[in-house]
Structure 1
Amino acid sequence: MGEVTSVEAETDVRWVPWRVAPHSGFEVDDPTGKGSVRVVQVDDRQFVVLNTFRYSDPDVEKDLSTRLVRSGMSDARARAAVDDARTFVPREDNPTDLASVPRFMRWFEDSYGRHTLAAMIHDELISDAVNSGALQSDTLSDRFFREMMRTSGVPWLKRWLMWSAVALRTRWVAGGYRRWSIVLWLLLSVVGITATVGSAGALLFDWPWPVSSPAWSLVVALLMIFVAAPLWGRQWAASLIAAVGALWLVPAAAVTSLAWLVYVVLERIARDLGLR
């Protein structure tokens, strides 16, 4: 992704606030002055963006630059990296699915909304190769994603849950001990969720529970959220949000997935019967 220089900004580009969230910091190259991001659908799930857009917030940019300098970059190189990272330049080889929200989570958040441009920039900053984006840090790219959603008006809990989802992906892709730490965290989460639901059910509805004191097992299950947080390293806060969210998101997602499976089976039966 190439840099957009100040000369280009003044002579070749007309930056207009994004019409969806004018105070978000997102600016669009739109000669019509409407601040529209134009897209063309190219297949069932992919779109191609037709005009350049960028994110402009001095405080967020300064924070990113400062963190890059702390990691060893020169000040000039850090500023250039941030400028590159915050600018989405359309190319034929970078189609987008907007925000990569799994089908079974679409009830919670769509693939489009106030988070759309933040998600597209974030997708450009990460790849299967670890730390290969403009910021040279997937962890920092995830943080940038969260900050872009904040200024775009995405509610606090929703943006932190979305951040925890991309942070989970970052640690998984990193491989090695980071991936094993996530596996361990997931196992502890299954145990914790089971213990929380079982203990709460025993206390509130007299469900059968093998532990003599469901109150204590509930306390232990809740404490596991904090005990397991260090398994996420520097993104430990994402662990806390993910653990709390999992208590109600996972059951809902399971029901949604089951409903989707029923639909797929019915569609298959209709196809086999020759219905069109």
Structure 2
Amino acid sequence: MGDATSSTTRWVPWRVAPSSGFEVDDPTGRGSVGIVQIDERQFVVLNTFRYSDEDVENDLVTKLVRGGMDESQARAAVDKARTFVPRDDNPTDLASVPRFMRWFEDSYGKHSLAALIHDELISDAVNSGALGSDTLSDRFFREMMRTSGVPWLKRWIMWSAVALRTRWIAGGYRRWSLVLWLLLSIVGITATVGSAGALLFDWPWTVWSPTGSLVVALLMIFVAAPLWGRQWAASLIGAVGALWLVPAAAVTSLAWVVYRALEGIARTLRLR
């Protein structure tokens, strides 16, 4: 692929994951990415970096050409998409992991540079990034995490999360299909937990037989998958992950609410 930066740029493998394909413009030769904290939650990245993996790049080019671009335009789009150039007017919170999910993944880690590039590729305007496709940008995010060493299930769950955002932002029937999927998920999770509890712990369960409810709930995962269209795999991963992520997130959220209440009491009493 072409080099979108000057000849004076010194590309060094990212020290966090040297075999990831990420290269950092670091004159010190250490492969470090510097950041500066500008407020409680926002940072500014100091280094230019890029992602270089021939197989992933060629896959993106192929998909863009199939979508109507000529090859030179596609390669230029991929070069732009894979290169992060710092800007003072574009601070970041690193990976946008909700507070109640930080037990599962931090906002930084082997996924950090992939998340920074992905954030550059998406915005509130649908398909406005360098690749011209939020869905393809989400896939690129997953592939960057793969070569960075993010474990299989974790990266697919993280991909499912950004794919959910993409379908919601798209609006129209995609948003309504997502709403329907979420409603079915609530029913499915309730049926799974209730029927499993009835079978294992003799919980009271009057909605159909416990075994029948469990079978229907598990089948619902596959029945609802087409509501995600071409991202149907994200539906499957999201549904399976929700079975254990949602209860854990609920407990974490409750703990956070208790903490905030205690902080409020401390402020009221003017404790120091």
- State the TM-score, normalizing by the size of structure 2: 0.98
Given candidates 132, 137, 140, the residue that maps to 1:136 is: 132
2:44 is matched with which residue?
48
How large is the Cα RMSD of the aligned pairs? Answer: 1.1
1:5 Cα deviation after fit: 5.6
With over 3 angstroms needed to count, the CA separation of the structure-2 counterparts of 1:212 and 1:7, relative to structure 1, is: closer
Amino acid at match of 2:136: L
1:164 is matched with which residue?
160
The alignment partner of 2:200 has SS state of helix
Amino acid at match of 1:128: D
Given candidates 198, 201, 223, the residue that maps to 2:197 is: 201
Provide the identity percentage.
83
CA deviations 1:154-183 (Å, max 9, x no partner) are: 000000000000000000000111111111
With over 3 angstroms needed to count, the CA separation of the structure-2 counterparts of 1:74 and 1:264, relative to structure 1, is: same
With over 3 angstroms needed to count, the CA separation of the structure-2 counterparts of 1:7 and 1:59, relative to structure 1, is: closer
CA deviations 1:211-253 (Å, max 9, x no partner) are: 3421111101000000000111110000000000000000000
Amino acid at match of 1:215: T
2:100 is matched with which residue?
104
Asked if the contact 2:12–2:31 (Cα under 8 Å) also holds between the matched residues in 1, the reply is yes
Asked if the contact 2:15–2:30 (Cα under 8 Å) also holds between the matched residues in 1, the reply is yes
2:181 matches 1:185: yes
- In the alignment, structure 1 segments of 5+ residues that lack a partner are none
- Alpha-carbon separation, structure 2, partners of 1:247 and 1:41: 36
Q: How does 1:251-270 map onto structure 2 within 5 Å?
A: 251-270=247-266
With over 3 angstroms needed to count, the CA separation of the structure-2 counterparts of 1:19 and 1:228, relative to structure 1, is: same
- Alpha-carbon separation, structure 2, partners of 1:63 and 1:253: 35
CA deviations 1:74-119 (Å, max 9, x no partner) are: 1100000000000000011111111000000000000000000000
1:63 is matched with which residue?
59
Given candidates 26, 33, 37, the residue that maps to 2:22 is: 26
2:143 matches 1:147: yes
1:37 is matched with which residue?
33
The alignment partner of 1:231 has SS state of helix
- In the alignment, structure 2 segments of 5+ residues that lack a partner are none
